Amino acid sequence: MFDFLIDGFGVALTPLNLGLAFLGAVLGTLFGALPGIGPINGIAILMPLAYTLGLPAESALILLAGVYTGAEYGGRMSSILLNVPGDAGAVMTTLDGHPLAKKGLAGPALGLSAVSSFVGATIAIIGLTLFAPLLAEVAVMFGPAEFFALMIFAFASMSVMMGKDPIKTAIGAVLGVMIAMVGVDSGTGVLRYTFGMAELYDGIDFVVMIIGLFAISEILLMLEHANRNDANDEIPPLGRVMVSLKEVLYCKWTMLRCGLIGFIVGVLPGTGASVAGAVAYTTEKRISDKDGTFGTGDMRGLAAPEAANNASAAGSFVPMLTLGIPGSGTTAVLLGALMLYNITPGPMMFSERPEVAGGLIASLYIGNVVLLALNLPLAGLFAKVLTIPRWVLVPGIAILAFTGVYQLHSDLMAIYLMLIIGVFGYLLRKLGFSLAPVILGYVLGGLMEDNLRRALSISGGDVGILWQSGISLGLWIAAALLLVLPWLLPKLLFRKSLDGA
């Protein structure tokens, strides 16, 4: 295990990869600080550029992973200073972060959030280092039936834990699966959802899908709210940014507890930082909020979601690297980046492409230290990004989106398709749908179909193979419990309260 990590540092410490880790951390913090941009849009915009520049797979992944972790750091800025979450994972940060800024503690709040993010991410990266190689060894025993059951578990986990409305989450995932079905059926040669258009025979390209669904829909939302001045609100004075040792020690148990919670939630397929932040905040409130100060500017209420968000981001790499299952919407995009390089994520990647897996894990250690060093002294400089007007921001994002897709395909049809998907994503967001289940359904749909075909081919069409082994049966049972328990527990608790009365 330690030899694997040492080899990884040998990859991550090359001058090119060090520079890319630093660049990813800076760009990620900037993307995260801008409300509505977040890690998914940042990665979606940079992914085709990294590929067309000819970066090796490990270097591209180090850059994009740096953007991911950096955006989790940067998302706190607008949450604390403007009460506007930088992304979905920073929603819980507003509850105590902005009240602290109103009390004149904006600087210490930013400093504490950086330290909490560092602690949470460190816990999760250590967990990733210890458990990913071990889980990869177990995952080698997975056959097509086990992987199909794992996909079902991922969909069940996503439906229950992602978003406020499980029905809309499930519908979004089904839409994603339907989009993944577009093109020629590899098994039978039948055309599916192509509407007679030859350009759709190869399916919808991942980069076109990602940039259209996230970047273009975000541009349309920005244009809709062009008259708003959310990004131009007056930033409160920061004062001192360096958090005191006393303030850090006051929150030490909160950071450790919530870092562990964030890692556990992040490992579950299809959850993400928003779920981790909510679970950590509510758990910490029950444990520590004896005086009812949470929600009024309590340092622990700020440290809890920040530690959990960043721990979840690192934890979501565990299922991606070991099982080929994205742990969050952002790792689904990173999964697509691996596919661009014809790398199949999963247990064999640790033996077949150790420079990619090891270099990525080692770069997370380096990037975490870089982010703390950047975000403590330079928080005031990064906060200036919040003053960028929309008339500069929208064209800039549009240029990067169009350039990235055209560089990759050199085809106007790809541009038109990107715009159509962007309008579709915009309509979904207006109807209250989260886009993360759509992209997870898109990524998992193709994998699920392939493994179902292989399993049925092995068994000669006998569906019993899908739950024949102990592993697949356990995953089916876990998926069923995930779907049933959220509906059953409230009724049982209500009946128990009636019996007690």
Residue-by-residue pLDDT tens, the chain, 501 positions: 677 788 888 888 899 999 999 999 889 888 887 766 778 888 888 888 888 888 888 899 899 988 988 888 887 777 787 776 666 667 788 888 888 888 878 888 888 888 998 999 999 999 888 888 777 777 777 788 888 888 888 787 776 655 567 788 888 888 988 998 888 887 777 888 888 888 788 888 887 888 888 888 888 887 877 655 444 456 666 666 677 788 888 888 889 999 998 888 888 776 666 678 778 888 888 888 777 788 788 888 888 888 888 888 888 888 888 887 877 778 888 887 888 888 877 777 777 788 888 888 888 899 889 888 887 777 777 667 766 777 777 788 788 788 878 877 778 888 899 899 999 999 998 888 878 788 878 888 888 888 888 888 888 888 888 888 888 888 888 888 877 766 665 554 444 444 554
**What residue type is 312 in one-letter code?**
S
Angle at 233 between CA 427 and CA 216, to 5 degrees: 25
Determine the Cα–Cα distance for residues 179 and 175; give it in Å rounded to an integer: 6
**191 pairs with which residues across the strands?**
184
| H/E run at residue 7 | helix 2-12
Nearest to 262 by CA among 200, 310, 324, 333: 310
Q: Is 403 exposed, middle or buried (0-12, 13-18, 19+ CB in 10 A)?
A: middle
Does residue 184 sit in helix, strand or coil? strand
- Which residue is it, tokens 């790792």? 331
Angle at 207 between CA 204 and CA 211, to 5 degrees: 105
> CB–CB of 47/64 below 8 Å?
yes
Determine the Cα–Cα distance for residues 144 and 146; give it in Å rounded to an integer: 5
* DSSP per residue, 276-321: HHHHHHHHHHHHH-SSS-TTSS-HHHHHHHHHHHHHHHHHTHHHHH
Nearest to 76 by CA among 373, 366, 309, 327: 309
* Neighbour-count burial for 460-475, b at 16+ CB within 10 Å, e otherwise: eeeeebbbbbebbeeb
Does residue 183 sit in helix, strand or coil? strand
pLDDT for residue 424: 93
* DSSP per residue, 352-409: H-HHHHHHHHHHHHHHHHHHHHHHTTTHHHHHGGGG--HHHHHHHHHHHHHHHHHHHH
* DSSP per residue, 185-232: -TTT--EES-TT-GGGTT---HHHHHIIIIIIHHHHHHHHTTT--GGG
pLDDT for residue 419: 92
Centroid of chain to Cα 189: 34
Q: Is 163 left (phi over 0), alpha (psi -120 to 50) or beta?
A: left
Nearest to 231 by CA among 359, 128, 429, 83: 83
**183 pairs with which residues across the strands?**
192
Determine the Cα–Cα distance for residues 214 and 218; give it in Å rounded to an integer: 6
Nearest to 113 by CA among 98, 129, 126, 125: 98
> CB–CB of 209/421 below 8 Å?
yes
- pLDDT 10s digits, 142-191: 788 888 888 888 787 776 655 567 788 888 888 988 998 888 887 777 88
pLDDT for residue 1: 63
Instruction: Report CA-CA distances (Å) from 425 to 175, 271, 406.
Output: 11, 20, 20
Determine the Cα–Cα distance for residues 66 and 313; give it in Å rounded to an integer: 11
